[in-house]
C-alpha cells in the first residue's frame, strides 16, 4: 500500500519527523522558511495531512485549493489559525494539542506575573546599563503577589493551573470570569470565586488573560477596560495577540493608568507595537509560554499521533470537529 503524503509546515524535532516518516511520505520545512499563502498551498496540494503550528492559516481558500486534505493537526492548544467551520464543511478533521502544555504554560504565566509585579526586567536593564550607583529605600518597589487578589479572565485548564498556583502557593484570593462557571468541585479545588468581568477588573490587583482568541474576544481589554483597573494593577497576557488592544495598553502604561504589564503575545506578532518597546513598565517575551523541550516535544508528538491515527483509519485523539 502506498503511504499517505503529508506536509510539516514548520521546523520540528527531527525525531518527530522520523516517526512521521515511518507512516507517511513527508515533505517537511526543516529550514523553517517563511511561506506566502500561495507557496503554502502549492506545497499542500496533493497531501492528505498537514502538521501546522499557530501561524499557519487553514481557511476556505486553502481548503478549496487542496481537495486531498483529510486532517490538519495543530501543534498548539489554540486554534484561531483554523477556520473550523470551513474545515468541517470540507470534510477535513481539525485537531489541537491540549493538556500536554497546561502546567508548563501555567508556570510561565506565573513567572511573567512575578517578573512584571516585581519589575525584574526593568531593574535588570538598569543594572546592566551601569546605572546602579547606590541602594535606595524605594528603588524598583513593585507590588506584592502573596495575599493579593488575582483576577483570571478565561478559566480553562491553563487558567485553573494559574489559580492553583496563586491560591495554594501564594495565598492569593482568586477571582475569575469565564463564559461558563466551573463546577463547585473545581471552584473549591482552585479556591476561585466566580465574578462578573467588570467586578474582576475593578477589584483585582493582578489581571491574568488566558482566554481563547475569537472574533468575540477581540479587544476584550481596551481603553474602557483598562480605565476600570486599579492604578496599582498589573495585566498579564499569555493568551493571544488581539485580546488586548496593544495601542490602548501602551497609552495606559505610559500615562500610569495601570502600574505594569507582562506580555507574551502581541497583535500582529512577531511585530510588536513600537510604543511597547520603549515603555519601561512592561515585560515582553516572544510567545514562549509553552517553551520547554519536554512540553514542545509532547505537543509535537500529539500532533503526530493525531495524523497517524486519522490517516490509518482511526479516530483523532483530540478532535475539534
Ligand atoms: C504554541 C500556543 O507554541 O499552544 C498554543 O496555543 O500559543 C503555543 O503553545 C504556538 O501557538 C505555536 O504553535
CA of 173 to the centre of ligand 1 (A): 28
User: HEC profile for 256-295?
Assistant: CCCCEEEECCCCCCCCCCHHHHHCCCEEECCCCCCCCHHH
Helix (H) or strand (E) holding 157: helix 157-164
268-287 pLDDT, tens digit each: 999 999 999 999 999 999 99
Residues 105 and 159 sit within 8 Å (Cβ to Cβ): no
Q: pTM for the full model?
A: 0.97
Which entry of 27, 103, 199, 269 is annotated as an active-site residue? 269
- Fold of domain 102-284: Rossmann fold (3.40.50)
Task: Write down the pLDDT at residue 35.
Answer: 97
pLDDT of residue 166: 98
With a CB cutoff of 8 Å and minimum separation 6, the contacts of 111 are none
Residues of the chain with CATH 3.40.50.720: 5-98+293-311, 102-284
C-alpha cell read off for 171 = 495565598
| CATH architecture of residue range(s) 5-98+293-311 | 3-Layer(aba) Sandwich (3.40)
What does DSSP assign to residue 244? B
Q: CA 77 to CA 302: how far, in whole Å? A: 11
- Centre a 10 Å sphere on the Cβ of residue 253 and count the other Cβ atoms it contains: 21
**Could you tell me the distance, in angstroms and rounded to a whole number, from the CA of residue 55 to the centre of ligand 1?**
9
Largest separation between any pair of C-alpha atoms in the chain: 74
Indicate whether residue 298 lines ligand 1 (CB < 6 A): no
Sign of the CA dihedral with 51 first, then 56, 60, and 61 last = negative
Phi, psi of 176 (to 5 degrees): -145, 160
Q: What is the pLDDT of residues 119-144, one digit of tens each?
A: 999 999 999 999 999 999 999 999 99
Q: How far is the CA of 289 from the centre of ligand 1 (A)?
A: 8
The residue whose grid cell reads 489559580 is 163
What mean pLDDT value characterizes the chain?
Answer: 98
Whether pLDDT at 1 is above 90: no
> To which residue does cell 527531527 refer?
14
Active-site residue flag, 118: no
**Residue 164 bears catalytic tag:** no
The active-site residue, picked from 19, 177, 240, 273, is: 240
Report pLDDT for 297: 98
Amino acid at each position: 500500500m502506498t503511504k499517505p503524503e503529508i506536509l510539516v509546515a514548520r521546523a520540528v524535532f527531527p525525531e518527530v519527523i522520523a516517526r512521521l516518516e515511518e507512516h507517511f511520505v513527508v515533505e517537511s520545512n526543516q529550514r523553517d522558511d517563511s511561506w506566502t499563502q500561495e507557496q503554502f498551498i502549492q506545497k499542500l496540494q496533493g497531501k492528505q495531512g498537514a502538521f501546522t503550528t499557530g501561524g499557519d492559516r487553514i481557511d476556505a481558500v486553502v481548503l478549496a485549493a487542496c481537495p486531498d486534505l483529510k486532517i490538519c493537526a495543530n501543534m498548539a492548544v489554540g486554534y484561531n489559525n483554523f477556520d473550523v467551520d470551513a474545515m468541517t464543511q470540507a470534510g477535513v478533521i481539525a485537531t489541537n494539542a491540549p493538556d500536554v502544555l497546561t502546567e508548563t504554560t501555567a508556570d510561565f504565566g506565573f513567572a511573567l506575573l512575578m517578573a512584571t509585579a516585581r519589575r525584574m526586567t526593568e531593574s535588570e536593564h538598569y543594572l546592566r546599563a551601569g546605572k546602579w550607583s547606590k541602594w535606595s529605600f524605594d528603588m524598583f518597589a513593585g507590588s506584592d503577589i502573596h495575599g493579593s487578589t488575582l483576577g483570571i479572565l478565561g478559566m480553562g485548564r491553563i487558567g485553573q493551573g494559574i489559580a492553583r498556583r496563586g491560591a495554594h502557593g501564594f495565598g492569593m484570593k482568586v477571582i475569575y470570569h469565564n463564559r461558563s462557571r466551573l463546577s463547585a468541585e473545581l471552584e473549591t479545588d482552585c479556591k476561585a470565586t466566580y465574578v462578573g468581568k467588570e467586578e474582576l477588573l475593578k477589584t483585582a490587583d493582578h489581571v491574568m488573560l488566558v482566554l481563547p482568541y475569537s472574533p468575540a474576544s477581540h479587544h476584550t481589554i481596551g481603553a474602557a477596560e483598562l480605565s476600570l483597573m486599579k492604578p496599582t494593577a498589573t495585566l498579564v497576557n499569555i493568551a493571544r495577540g488581539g485580546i488586548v488592544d496593544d495601542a490602548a495598553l501602551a497609552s495606559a502604561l505610559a500615562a500610569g493608568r495601570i502600574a505594569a504589564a507582562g506580555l507574551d503575545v502581541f497583535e500582529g506578532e512577531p511585530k510588536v507595537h513600537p510604543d511597547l518597546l520603549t515603555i519601561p513598565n512592561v515585560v515582553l517575551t516572544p510567545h514562549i509560554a509553552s517553551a520547554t523541550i519536554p512540553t514542545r516535544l509532547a505537543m509535537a508528538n500529539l500532533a503526530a499521533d493525531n495524523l497517524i491515527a486519522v490517516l490509518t483509519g482511526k479516530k483523532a485523539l483530540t478532535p475539534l470537529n
